[in-house]
Structure 1
């Protein structure tokens, strides 16, 4: 860190915009922090009761219940929550979790945001409220516009909204002065149409939420096994002998995964949990679909909990592999699968040399795991041939996130635990269709194969220059290099690091457009003009007047889960209001207004008949031939995954080992490594409530979880008010009026909630390979507030 620090991007003051002064992190008035002991098990009756309470409270008894019965069924609605897969065979009639119930109830909300609401509230006034309050105002039901210099949104017709978008896009000096952001909840049809629209316009500026989460996973897997997706299927969990769960909190973020882990345990597998925080979902699971689970009896999941320091994954994994190699050197073939390595891999010699030269004291110190625990994990790995490694953002969101993923793949390859039943990498995606968006071509760095196929099918030469990812889009916006920013769902502002910088960036556009179901803070930090286009939720009926039909015909969409299955999804609920359009139709109608006259495809026909879009997908996207027929099959179909069959389509034609160094120590004396986490009452940037039930933190989100001994050294006790300052390359960013909470976390490590902690995270702190922001490792210092 430089000697002279520069304070910047503090959110204690509002952003000055043409539409008023906008607050970015308003105080959570009425905070009444309550602390309880962290839970030791998850789900069970409390999860069921909370699901029902939230669903009925948001949507009413009927509207809150019916979608849950259709959720994740073969002829029903794909859950808009996480991307955990569904069983290929028979499914439970209640195949949803608390997370999914909240997501469904959130979009089935019976409250509506009308024109009167916007007349009564200026954007500046709205910004004084919390993100939770904004979401709680209800569903958006008609297009609204914030005009140049105006302080309030006002209604606008759909035709005029599309005309405004077309006019602004036609007036930009180059197509690259527009950017098209995608949320991971966008369906395949919407995503495919969206990327085609952007490329017909002439840009590859297609940032998406995966740039900020699993981009590191895709880069690592593509380099090492030839495909940017995991190879595991759901049935593999029942065959596994050992399962690692690394950098993940399934009890909150992917609750249905617990059923798969329970199946592993009941079939004799051991489970090793690796995480800086002990999470209820990593310990015990009360299966709510079983009588015993409803009565409070749990299955112990983790056999070994390795509480690593933040970003201690590489030294831990390197330690496990070093121990395996030491055993194998003493007894060749006892711990390393030499036959698999010889036949199917390249680069093993460099990895083995790196492991032999690794220093044990460094690995133990930097991981935070003692030598005996590493030896135990290695012993279980040595005795298992069927190994699954699951991971999520605790692994990927670091400046060395790609290397973290590479190292866990090294471990699998060393044991030959890939390309066979019960084994392989399991990249656990968050958003319900983030994997599908990338399959459909939403990527700022498209392959030549995709661009050539687009050219052949749609008779135009798509742009070849790589576009901006999410972080680079924020930088370009801040420089004034983007005039029009379109967001297909999501909350771009609050998903980014360095919140003030991101807000300053968005405020510089000529036009912001967001397609969504509810109001969020990104709608308040507008450029000269801003449009909000309301859309249907995934659980709502979508009726369109297709060409040749006698009347309105029900449309359906499709998504891809974490394990490469594409399935249909059809809403059955009555829409929240007449006139609402599906995001698919909105994208197509925008395109019709903007590029329709020069497009080979009939955009308006696509808006009215999604089968036409699926025909386009079949003609363009690898593995999607016969899409319309296959997606109508109960349960859908698997996309090709050559690595499942040990067909590694890399530059060597084999799986590639990599050498990944232990990250340099960047936390100075008096500082802490800060990681962001989600509470149990949220999904990404969407806040359902102010409770974190499993961690025992209630009624507050502006908290910092700290080690007890670290707190004593700072003369802190729980509930003390504190100031948190981040440090990066001579810059400091400061947040005031947070509360300290004693929590079982390793020393010199702290945890804060996302997105409240995002203002502390530097925009420039990203992974060198994936450019994924480092949400999980930021150097911070903490002082007691004078008023505490």
Structure 2
């Protein structure tokens, strides 16, 4: 990308590199919305839908999962929410005529943006190998053949993947269908982002999700951010931060990249700020930690906290909490005390003074929240990143009380909720005994495949069918090139989708694209509008009602597609009332309530209440539902979250690759080619690197290079045609865009406990390309 016409930010550590001169939000955000409106001109109904987005009686945004307040603002959506909504409400259509005109081989040459920009899918389509095109097919025929193919293989040879888009009701039935069919192969998009949270928080605290609610942000004294880009990935959080800062809350951020959203923000809903142009400074301190250096930062902060306690015994640590509610504190603290400050500085890239400056804010605050994103989870030692953050919070009792706790910021709108209602490869997490009693079935107890294991099994030929409930699975995964080579060898691939994407261009021997309703579409069953529900990142459940006329009468809801497949693959059972459940989603909510009565009792009555209904969180009440019955301290084994340190190797200079999303992107959806909040635009095929590293490597601005994975496993992984772009980054670190750089990340390079791909910490080398002749 080329630098946009912005002056360089005075708060950038390198004023000679691109930066965005304005605050996050403000007029720039409105201009971003205007840009997408120019590309996708909204109808009057689309504007009405936006006005009701994330409010009672409206649709819940299909973008991020940030909390929705009980008393919403005039506009309770952000720039990304507007983009996602208008992207879905496009009047462009992709139907049989489109596929007649475009062979799959030709569509593979299209960009990710152009594939989705073509429009909404309108008809169920089956791949025809002879013509290399998709052909329309009747729904009944599609269900029958999908059923035939799934019945012909062993259940564990099939994978039932889900993105974070589908609501609670279809998600519940999807998981139920797969298990009655006979498999726990239910990987989900969480496997690629916050599985580190799900697995490790469950171990440390007895809950697989964060402990905070929106109310806690009204009472905290300090917020510590680790590896989270608020301005791009969850902009509605910025309004919450603005209110916290205005009442005196301190914000401290650790991130390799200086992201504008956590630096300064102008609230588009504040006429005074918009007119006066005065921004709210968000972070009191912003530290550019090296990738993988968060463990060292947290070790240094804990050492400072312990030094303060040693200087004034009994006044810093919460000894009563530590005694009554924790386990392993002595072992963990003894190891941290022995850690050397020189090594902490080396791994973190920060000075001792910086770390102690941050730690003093922690010591001075009565109530602290730790907030984090995928910069903490997508590392080989992500478990220890998370464990050290929990350690810091536990020391002063900042867990399970008002204004304190741990708060992961989830991505997709219902990615957390899908896990809550059963989608997941670990059957031990779900009440299968209760479901067996409810439906008179026997459900499998063998652990299924997560996304990494499923990917390996596809490559090895052990997966013969993949059903994808939403998403762009193949494009989102690591090791894309290996997977693309193997994907078409499957007997069956099925994608339930709203728009065309790259995953559809690697069809199996039998392959279907099944078009579904979007979140904003009216879902009529027997002429009656159906409400669906979603869960936000803070465990609140909200009703969502679409109002737009679907782009085709051939579309079915995700739930109706699932029940259609279920009837085709499962034997008749009078307790499995697929038709009744399709006709009235209230009945599915009754099933959810019966399966989890403590959390979902009276679901139909409660789903429309202001602010959603809270399904509860044991750790928030200081009940620790793990094996120890206590909150666990983690004893550190290393100061780095990386599997391999950057530096000179036998193969050449190695750097740590940090993949990232642009401001014009949500997951694999590319709305445009402006990364406004970083001051970049144009091609996404770039390598960002600081000027010092450029000089040491004899690289020049705009030079074409190839990135090569520096993990020695006998495979050559490379991405070519990348332009060198100077950017404000720590030494040893380079950055580039996801998913373009996914081919560099091996499937085997993942967080060691959860299997989360290490998108934020892969070692790579830079190879200059010969100039074009």
Fold match by TM threshold 0.5: yes
Q: State whether residues 767 and 774 of structure 1, in contact with CA within 8 Å, keep that contact through their aligned partners in structure 2.
A: yes
Q: State whether residues 596 and 602 of structure 1, in contact with CA within 8 Å, keep that contact through their aligned partners in structure 2.
A: no
Aligned-residue offset at 1:56: 4.9
Q: Residue 68 of structure 1: SS of its match in structure 2?
A: helix
C-alpha distance in 1 between matches for 2:736 and 2:322: 41
| Deviations 1:515-571, CA, capped at 9 Å, x for gaps | 0110000000111121000011101111111xxxxxx10001000000000110000
**Structure 1's 375 and 208: CA in aligned 2 closer, same or farther, altered over 3 A?**
same
Q: Residue 746 of structure 1: SS of its match in structure 2?
A: coil
Q: State whether residues 125 and 136 of structure 2, in contact with CA within 8 Å, keep that contact through their aligned partners in structure 1.
A: yes
**2:728 corresponds to 1:744:** yes
Q: Which moved more, 1:39-48 or 1:454-463?
A: 39-48
Q: 2:752 aligned to 751, 760, 768, which one? A: 768
Q: 1:396 aligned to 363, 372, 377, which one? A: 377
Q: Which moved more, 1:247-256 or 1:56-65?
A: 56-65
C-alpha distance in 1 between matches for 2:89 and 2:416: 24
Q: 1:720 aligned to 685, 688, 703, which one? A: 703
* Counterpart position of 2:740: 756
C-alpha distance in 2 between matches for 1:58 and 1:456: 49
Aligned-residue offset at 1:619: 1.1
Q: 2:675 aligned to 675, 684, 692, which one? A: 692
Aligned-residue offset at 1:784: 2.2
Aligned-residue offset at 1:33: 7.3
Q: 1:579 aligned to 530, 533, 554, which one? A: 554
**2:652 corresponds to 1:677:** no
Q: 2:646 aligned to 654, 658, 667, which one? A: 667
**2:500 corresponds to 1:519:** yes
Q: 2:213 aligned to 233, 236, 254, which one? A: 233
C-alpha distance in 2 between matches for 1:148 and 1:126: 14
**2:719 corresponds to 1:735:** yes
Aligned-residue offset at 1:149: 4.7
Q: 2:542 aligned to 567, 574, 579, which one? A: 567
Q: Residue 133 of structure 2: SS of its match in structure 1?
A: coil
C-alpha distance in 2 between matches for 1:369 and 1:543: 57
**2:50 corresponds to 1:68:** yes
**Structure 1's 411 and 431: CA in aligned 2 closer, same or farther, altered over 3 A?**
same
Q: State whether residues 149 and 528 of structure 1, in contact with CA within 8 Å, keep that contact through their aligned partners in structure 2.
A: no
Q: State whether residues 586 and 607 of structure 1, in contact with CA within 8 Å, keep that contact through their aligned partners in structure 2.
A: no
Q: State whether residues 475 and 505 of structure 1, in contact with CA within 8 Å, keep that contact through their aligned partners in structure 2.
A: no
C-alpha distance in 2 between matches for 1:304 and 1:772: 29
- Paired residues for 1:305-316 under 5 Å: 305-316=286-297
* Counterpart position of 1:651: 627
Q: Residue 220 of structure 1: SS of its match in structure 2?
A: helix
C-alpha distance in 1 between matches for 2:734 and 2:314: 42
Aligned-residue offset at 1:65: 1.6
Q: State whether residues 718 and 740 of structure 1, in contact with CA within 8 Å, keep that contact through their aligned partners in structure 2.
A: yes
**2:767 corresponds to 1:783:** yes
Q: Residue 273 of structure 1: SS of its match in structure 2?
A: strand
**2:583 corresponds to 1:631:** no
| Deviations 1:39-92, CA, capped at 9 Å, x for gaps | 25201022123213313531434244222111000221111000000112x211
Q: Which moved more, 1:33-42 or 1:695-704?
A: 33-42
Q: State whether residues 46 and 548 of structure 2, in contact with CA within 8 Å, keep that contact through their aligned partners in structure 1.
A: no
**2:61 corresponds to 1:79:** yes
Q: Residue 417 of structure 1: SS of its match in structure 2?
A: coil
C-alpha distance in 1 between matches for 2:231 and 2:373: 13
* Counterpart position of 2:177: 197
C-alpha distance in 2 between matches for 1:439 and 1:249: 25
**Structure 1's 756 and 93: CA in aligned 2 closer, same or farther, altered over 3 A?**
same
C-alpha distance in 1 between matches for 2:551 and 2:476: 26
- TM-score, normalised on structure 2? 0.95
Q: State whether residues 124 and 554 of structure 2, in contact with CA within 8 Å, keep that contact through their aligned partners in structure 1.
A: no
- Paired residues for 1:326-725 under 5 Å: 326-447=307-428, 450-545=431-526, 552-595=527-570, 597-598=572-573, 600-621=575-596, 623-661=599-637, 662-663=639-640, 665-669=644-648, 670-725=653-708
Q: Residue 156 of structure 2: SS of its match in structure 1?
A: helix
* Counterpart position of 1:277: 257
C-alpha distance in 1 between matches for 2:483 and 2:214: 38
Q: State whether residues 58 and 64 of structure 1, in contact with CA within 8 Å, keep that contact through their aligned partners in structure 2.
A: no
Q: State whether residues 474 and 505 of structure 1, in contact with CA within 8 Å, keep that contact through their aligned partners in structure 2.
A: no
Q: State whether residues 251 and 279 of structure 1, in contact with CA within 8 Å, keep that contact through their aligned partners in structure 2.
A: yes
Aligned-residue offset at 1:38: 1.0
C-alpha distance in 2 between matches for 1:32 and 1:644: 46
| Deviations 1:590-639, CA, capped at 9 Å, x for gaps | 11222151462211221221111111111113511222222133433101
* Counterpart position of 2:278: 297
* Counterpart position of 1:27: none
C-alpha distance in 2 between matches for 1:142 and 1:59: 23
Q: Residue 616 of structure 1: SS of its match in structure 2?
A: helix
**2:243 corresponds to 1:263:** yes
Q: State whether residues 179 and 443 of structure 2, in contact with CA within 8 Å, keep that contact through their aligned partners in structure 1.
A: yes
Structure 1 ranges of 4+ moved more than 4 A: 31-36
Q: State whether residues 307 and 746 of structure 1, in contact with CA within 8 Å, keep that contact through their aligned partners in structure 2.
A: yes
**Structure 1's 710 and 32: CA in aligned 2 closer, same or farther, altered over 3 A?**
closer
**2:132 corresponds to 1:151:** yes
Aligned-residue offset at 1:336: 1.7
Q: State whether residues 239 and 267 of structure 1, in contact with CA within 8 Å, keep that contact through their aligned partners in structure 2.
A: no
Q: State whether residues 229 and 427 of structure 1, in contact with CA within 8 Å, keep that contact through their aligned partners in structure 2.
A: yes
Q: Residue 556 of structure 2: SS of its match in structure 1?
A: coil
- Paired residues for 1:215-230 under 5 Å: 215-230=195-210
Q: State whether residues 64 and 412 of structure 2, in contact with CA within 8 Å, keep that contact through their aligned partners in structure 1.
A: yes
| Deviations 1:414-443, CA, capped at 9 Å, x for gaps | 111111111100011000000000001001
Aligned-residue offset at 1:765: 0.4
Superposition RMSD on alpha carbons, in Å?
Answer: 1.5
Q: State whether residues 230 and 427 of structure 1, in contact with CA within 8 Å, keep that contact through their aligned partners in structure 2.
A: yes
C-alpha distance in 1 between matches for 2:322 and 2:365: 16
- Paired residues for 1:165-184 under 5 Å: 165-172=146-153, 174-184=154-164
Aligned-residue offset at 1:309: 0.2
Q: Which runs of 5+ in 1 are unaligned?
A: 1-30, 546-551
| Deviations 1:162-183, CA, capped at 9 Å, x for gaps | 11111111111x1111110000
| Deviations 1:316-349, CA, capped at 9 Å, x for gaps | 0011001111221222123322121111111111
Q: Which moved more, 1:778-787 or 1:723-732?
A: 723-732
Q: State whether residues 2 and 680 of structure 2, in contact with CA within 8 Å, keep that contact through their aligned partners in structure 1.
A: no
- Paired residues for 1:112-191 under 5 Å: 112-172=93-153, 174-191=154-171
- TM-score, normalised on structure 1? 0.93
Q: Which moved more, 1:617-626 or 1:495-504?
A: 617-626
Q: Residue 782 of structure 1: SS of its match in structure 2?
A: strand
